[in-house]
Amino acid sequence: MKLISYRDRKPRSTQIRTGLVLPDEEHFIDLVVGDKKLGAKSKAPAFASLQALIEAGEPALEKASKIESWALQNQDELGTLADISLCAPLPVPIKFRAFSVYEKHLLQAIDAVLRNRMGPVAYRLNKALKLIKPPKQFYKNPVYYKGSNTSFIGPDADVIPPTFSEPMLDYECELGVVIGKGGMDIAPENAMAHVFGYTVFNDVSARRRLIPEFRGVTGPLKGKDFQTGNIMGPWIVTRDEIADPSALELRMSVNGALKGIGRAADMHHSIPDMIAYASEGEMLVPGEFFGTGAPADCTGIEHWEFLKSGDVMTLEIPTIGKLENKVA
């Protein structure tokens, strides 16, 4: 199933509702409305939000599946995506962890920074001595930072660059993972049972701030934390729809020009590894969101190309969906 959070366009509403998109990716049904079509007498708490649905677990998913079956037989009673404005599926994720697990991306990004920030002699020396490499910790365990959970937008919103981002605003095309079942000290072999679903994630970055922040010991700060800097969508695809997330392909375009194609199979640490590591001595909770990092060539910094006002970013993961946003 493809699950959405949305607002009505006409009349323009501030209320965020929960819906389900049909396989044609054109029609949708509001889950509360669909539940009533199946005979519900009152609004089900599980359909109040996607977070509530995730917390409600399998019974809510089973009911949503029945609503989808009804909707497929009654498409003349459904709305279309053109009638609504899509929000981030989880407008305020309960927790947000941003991982970095792609070795080639890091190598190319570090190389680009040194090539453009060092003198040619120093750069060639670093290359010759093979000093351009990720830190040792990258190879030991999945590294991540905890980002702001209040800066998320969906596909129908513009990115508003912070004043300190100029002239190095960047995109990061990533696979997003939503936790469905809580747990602590989860073994890697049991980890995928804790996944609710997947989405497309754009981890917009202000590289001008981010590059010097990496020299500190606390990790990314304002280079990652600014309003509209995290983009999620267009929906969450439930786990059962994707048999093997490591087989997914990620495609990044700007203004219609393909910039890079990445593969989830290139992760140095797998999704089960990320879940297991994040849960060591800490309780994971339903609705947590993991950004799994950008594969090689799916960021601008690797080629020293950055965004400008009016640019349109298009991130696509076939079998999940397409996420498109403009830079204001």
Mean pLDDT confidence for 26-49: 97
Taking the domains of the chain in order of start, what are their residue ranges? 2-86, 96-326
- pLDDT number for residue 215: 67
How far, in Å, CA of 287 to CA of 88, rounded? Answer: 13
Where residue 5 falls among pLDDT bands split at 50, 70, 90?
very high
Least confident of 98-107, 209-218, 226-235, 309-318: 209-218
- pLDDT number for residue 264: 99
Measured at the CA of 158, the angle between CA 156 and CA 159, to 5 degrees, comes to 135
Mean pLDDT confidence for 306-311: 97
Average pLDDT of the residues of the chain: 95
Percent of the chain with pLDDT over 90: 83
* Dihedral angle over CA of 47, 53, 57, 59, nearest 10: 20
Where residue 14 falls among pLDDT bands split at 50, 70, 90?
confident
Mean pLDDT confidence for 36-64: 97
pLDDT digits (tens, 9 = 90+) for 187-209: 999 999 999 999 999 999 999 88
pLDDT of 217 higher than 80: no
How far, in Å, CA of 111 to CA of 131, rounded? Answer: 10
Specify the pTM.
0.95
pLDDT of 105 higher than 90: yes
DSSP collapsed to 3 states, 5-70: EEEECCCCCCCCEEEEECCCCCEEEEHHHHHHHCCCCCCCHHHCCHHHHHHHCHHHHHHHHHHHHH
pLDDT digits (tens, 9 = 90+) for 284-293: 999 999 999 9
Burial class (CB in 10 A: 0-12, 13-18, 19+), 235: buried
Q: What are phi and psi of 222, to 5 degrees?
A: -70, -15
How far, in Å, CA of 43 to CA of 198, rounded? Answer: 26
How large is the greatest C-alpha to C-alpha distance in the chain, in angstroms? 74
- pLDDT number for residue 129: 75
Class of domain 96-326: alpha beta
Give the distance, in angstroms, between the CA of residue 293 and the centroid of all CA atoms in the same chain.
9
pLDDT digits (tens, 9 = 90+) for 54-95: 999 999 999 999 999 999 999 999 999 999 999 999 999 999
pLDDT digits (tens, 9 = 90+) for 224-281: 989 999 999 999 999 999 999 999 999 999 999 999 999 999 999 999 999 999 999 9
Cis before residue 11, ω within 30 degrees of 0?
yes
Burial class (CB in 10 A: 0-12, 13-18, 19+), 298: buried
